[in-house]
Every structure is written in structure tokens, then in C-alpha cells.
Amino acid sequence: MKYHRISRELFVRNRAKFVKSLAPNSVAFFNSNDIYPVSADSTVAFQQHRDIFYLSGVDQEESILVIYPDAFNPMHREMLFLKETNETIAIWEGEKLTKDAAFQTSGIKTVFWLTQFETVLKTVMAQAENVYINTNEHTRRYSETQTREDRFIQKLQHDFPAHTYKKSAPIMHRIRSVKEKEELDLMQKACDITAAGFQRVLNFVKPNVWEYEIEAEIIHEFIRNRSKGFAYTPIIGSGKNACVLHYIENNQQCKSGDVILMDFAAEYANYASDLTRCVPVNGKFTKRQRAVYDAVLRVKKACTKLLVPGTLMNEYHVEVGKLMEKELLGLKLIDKTDIKKQDPNWPAYKKYFMHGTSHFLGLDTHDVGLWTEPIKAGMVFTVEPGIYIPAEGLGIRLEDDVVVQKKGAPFNLMGNIPIEAEHIEELMNKKSR
């Protein structure tokens, strides 16, 4: 792992929060992700499943976490099952967790090798009444691939059909959405690495630079700061490419007079950050670009203030819509007639701002959280309004990551990243261009 060791106290506390929500005599299982294949003998770099990581800190494939607070045998109350390492693995892959290292990482005293799982499973299933399984209930989940967790659940329900099965997902969504101090520090670190990437971009962008050259600068800065890399596939879209919301080709040349929309951010210790900034290729916004930029920035500033405890995210999005409507009228992109005859389910402003303004952020970029409940202090959200005008070859989005406070405005984890148009221009023009 490139990141510094995380205090195991965090994972001990996380498990305690999970256990509080369990029904009596319940056992819960959490699996690592598979290592996903490409073809032949190549694989995609391992990404740990965020739930087992959140509850144990174990960042290794083929691991199982078992939580059974009412187990008859105290050794069975918390258990890790890990792949036993050997000389061949040590030579080809390097260090894997020993039993002691797994304890140091997680605070879990009972660590077994995976080969013992079937035996222990029979013992705990004979005692437990309820079984909490970890299905993916993200509202935007999309996968045709069966995960290691899916396979595990299928076999468990086949072998033990008489148990009562319950869902871990709502518990995980609730506890993961309110961040601990240590998590906020890790997220701040991710944001600071992102900030370094943006600083480097400001010194680098000039007419005729290619979008992929910008991407290359950023990844260099991330990895040299102990990040594994991008928290999500980066978008570096100049001119009209900025209007393609999920543009990831990043293969065009940036022309003087265009604006580049850059939605990129670092991960750190599996925690995501999520940034968007827009800069003029030649170091100076045109009057029109500046007007659109400032409109987006005003919306961003105003809607950030709405992220206070008690806010309902659906009501928040309605409020943001009103702010955006006002700005689009000012920019003469829509008029009063458009609003009068608008479809209430797809208001006129959506023509230029068609995505959500905020999402939960944490171990996942589009993190888990309960969208139907009022928001709480300690939750982290993005704030990312945008205006996209394909006819003008211009798309502006501005995105920061903020922490909801007990009182007052949220804390901006990206408060040190330049965002005012004049500041961006000033920094871009500092060096001879």
C-alpha cells in the first residue's frame, strides 16, 4: 500500500457502530472484491470492496470478515479469514498479511486462514438465527458481473435456506455517510493531493496542449504523493468536449480561445476526492466565458450554504434549480416563456444543467448514503453546478467537496484550491507562456 498506516481504532469504532444495528443472534459476512480479469493472464489492479475495508482496514483480496456479537465462543465474535501466504506468493507478489499484521491493521484478534472457513462457518451457522448479507443497494448500481460477494451469498442461501436473511446495506449506508475525524483527515489528504495536481495543471496548460498531456501531468503528481491514482476516470474536455458529461477520451488538442473543463481527483487510502475546475487555454477568459463562469460560481456559493443539518436533498435540488433558473435568464439562455411552458418534471433550466448538484462522497466517489433522510453533521458532499452550451462550444462546471457542520456553513475541504476566475488567470499568467 502506498498510504500511511491508518489507526486501527477507526475500524474498531466502525465495527461497533455496525454491531449496534444488528438484531439479536445475528451473524454478518463481508467479502473482498475479486481481482477482475482482462484476458490471457492479465488482470485489473485490485480494488478492495469498500465495506470490508471500512470495517477492518484489510486491503487484500480473498478475505472474509465475520461479525457475530452473540457468538457462544468469544473467539467467534469477530473473525477474519485470509489467504495464507507462502514462499511462492512471497517471491511473485511480495508481502501479504500475516495473522499479526491483520490484527495490527484491524484490531481483530481471531484471524484464521481461508482454508478453515468452511469448518467455522458450520459452527456459527448452527448457532445464528439471522444472517446479514451485503448486497449492493446503491441506487445507481450497474453491473453484469457477479461479484465474489454475490457468489458467496448464493452459496450461503443454498446451503442454509432456513435462516432469516437481512440486509447490511442500509446499516452500511447510514454509518458510512457520517465520517469520523480520521476519515475526514484522509479525505483532506486526498483533496490536498488533488490540489497539487491542479497547481501543476495551471503551470502547464498552454495553447495546443493535448488533453492527454494534462492527464499525464496530473497522474504524475498524484502518484508521487502516495495516491494510487485517480479516484475515478478523469474528464479533460476542451471546447465542446466539456458538454459531453462523461467525456473520458481526453484525446483532443486544446485550442486558444477555448475553455478546458477538468473533472479529476485523487484517491488516498481508498478515500475519494472529486474536483472540477475550468480554465481558459490561453490564460484569459472571454467576456462571455467569464459571464457563464461567474454564473456557475454564484450558484455554487449560494447552494453550498444550504448544506446544513436537516436539509432534505430533494428539496435542496429544487432550490438549486431556482438559483440556476435565475442565472440562465441573466445569460439569456432561457426566457420567461420557456419557464411558463416548462414541464414541471423537466424544468427549462435542465436544458443547460441536466445533472444533480451534490452526491455523497467517501470511500466511493458516488458514496453510499440515505437520500431520503435529512442530512447530518459529518456528512461529506460534492457541490457541482454546471452550465453546458454545446452551440457555443462551452461547458462550465465547478466542483468542491464539503463537510456538513453542526452549525453554519459547511467546511470546504477544497477551500485552498483556486476557483475565482481572476485568481485562475493570475496564476496561469505568472510564468512566461
Question: Closest distance between Mn ion and the C-beta of residue 391, in Å?
Answer: 24
Q: How far is the CB of 254 from ligand GLY (least distance, A)?
A: 20
Choice between 221 and 263, CB closer to ligand GLY: 263
Site string for Mn ion, 253-272 (x = CB under 5 A): ----------x---------
By a kind-dependent CB cut-off of 5 to 8 A, residue 173 interacts, out of ligand GLY, Mn ion, none, with: none
What is the rounded CA–CA span in Å between residue 398 and residue 237? 14
CB under 8 Å to 431, separation ≥6 — which residues? 203
Q: 3-state DSSP helix/strand/coil percent for the chain, to nearest 5?
A: 40, 15, 45
Contact segment (CB under 5 A) with Mn ion among 77-85, 223-231, 298-306, 398-406 equals 398-406
| Partner whose binding site includes residue 258, from ligand GLY, Mn ion, none (CB under 5 to 8 Å by kind) | none
Which of ligand GLY, Mn ion, none does residue 364 bind (CB under 5 to 8 Å by kind)?
Answer: none
Sign of CA dihedral 356, 53, 29, 42: positive
Closer residue to Mn ion in complex, CB, 63/382: 382
Task: Name the burial class of residue 102, with classes exposed (0-12), middle (13-18) and buried (19+) by CB atoms within 10 angstroms of its CB.
Answer: buried
* Of 52 and 275, CB closest to Mn ion: 275
State the binding partner of 183 from Mn ion, ligand GLY, none, CB within 5 to 8 A by kind. Answer: none
CB of 265 to ligand GLY, least distance (A): 7
The cell 476526492 sits on which residue? 273
From the list Mn ion, ligand GLY, none, pick the one residue 232 interacts with, judged by a Cβ distance below 5 to 8 Å according to partner type.
ligand GLY
Angle CA(424)–CA(425)–CA(427) in degrees, nearest 5? 65
How far, rounded to the nearest angstrom, does the alpha carbon of residue 149 sit from its chain's CA centroid? 20
Q: What is the 3-state secondary structure (H, E, C) of 295-351?
A: HHHHHHHHHHCCCCCCCCHHHHHHHHHHHHHHHHHHCCCCCHHHHHCCECCECHHHH
Q: Which is nearer to Mn ion, 124 or 259 (CB)?
A: 259
The distance of closest approach from Cβ of residue 275 to ligand GLY in the complex, given in angstroms and rounded to an integer, is 8
For residue 301, the minimal CB distance to Mn ion (Å) is 17
Nearer to ligand GLY, 32 or 238 (CB): 238
Are 264 and 218 in contact by the 8 Å Cβ rule? The answer is yes
Residue 274 touching Mn ion (CB under 5 A) = yes
78 interacts with, out of Mn ion, ligand GLY, none, CB within 5 to 8 A per kind: none
Burial 117-148 (b: 16+ CB within 10 A, else e): eeebbeebbeebebbbbbeeeeeeeeeeeebb
Let me know: does 151 contact 29? Beta carbons within 8 Å: no
* Binding residues among 370-389 for Mn ion as defined by CB under 5 A: 382
- Which one of Mn ion, ligand GLY, none is in contact with 267 (Cβ closer than 5 to 8 A by kind)? none
| Contact residues for ligand GLY, defined by CB under 6 A | 232, 263, 274, 359, 365, 384, 399
Cα–Cα nearest to 360, from 197, 181, 175: 175
Choice between 30 and 230, CB closer to ligand GLY: 230
Cβ pair 28, 132 in contact under 8 A:
yes
Q: Select 30 or 381, whichever has its Cβ closest to ligand GLY.
A: 381
Which run of H or E residues covers position 383? strand 380-383
Residue 258 or 263 with smaller CB distance to Mn ion: 263
Q: Which residues bind Mn ion (CB under 5 A)?
A: 263, 274, 382, 399
